[in-house]
Amino acid sequence: MKLLLVDDDKVINIIHQKIIKQLYPRQAIHAFSEGLKALKYLETLKVHERIVIFLDLNMPIISGWEFLKRLQDSFYHLRIEVYVVSSSVASGDRRQALKFPIVKSFISKPLTPLLLKQLAILEKETKLSHIPCPKESR
């Protein structure tokens, strides 16, 4: 499985990487601060690979919306699941994002260990070692 973080906020990418690594230390993470670079990376992937993308909507150069349209139009042959991770509280954004078949969920920033565990995104096809969050083990 390939895991991509696509967010122009480099600090958020670092925070999300640390949270994911805390729970799934063996999971490789590919972080991109520009949607175009993430799209170029996707061009190199094999058809059978599962790809999970955590995507921000509000980005420069190409927005998350444009990124979703390009994914849908050009990468339909890949097994892509998108989880929109946004600071937007607009219900219209949530509804619009969920209209894309590849969007599995709309999540408010930031990701948390508990949310990742509830979504069980990374457990679907891999048996990664699990390290419980200290707060949750009480």
Could you tell me the two tokens for 78?
């890949």
Query: What is the pTM (predicted TM-score) of this model?
Result: 0.85
d(CA 21, CA 9): 18
Which tens digits make up the pLDDT trace of 47-92? 878 899 999 999 999 999 999 999 999 888 888 999 999 988 778 9
Three-state helix/strand/coil letters over 54-87: EECCCCCCCCHHHHHHHHHHHCCCCEEEEEEEEC
DSSP letter, residue 111: P
Domains of the chain: 2-137 (3.40.50.2300)
72 burial level (CB within 10 Å; 0-12, 13-18, 19+): middle
> Checking phi first, is residue 120 left (phi over 0); if not, alpha (psi -120 to 50) or beta?
left
Which tens digits make up the pLDDT trace of 14-45? 999 999 999 999 999 999 999 999 999 999 98
φ and ψ at residue 30, rounded to 5 degrees: -115, 110
- Which of 121 and 14 is assigned the larger pLDDT? 14
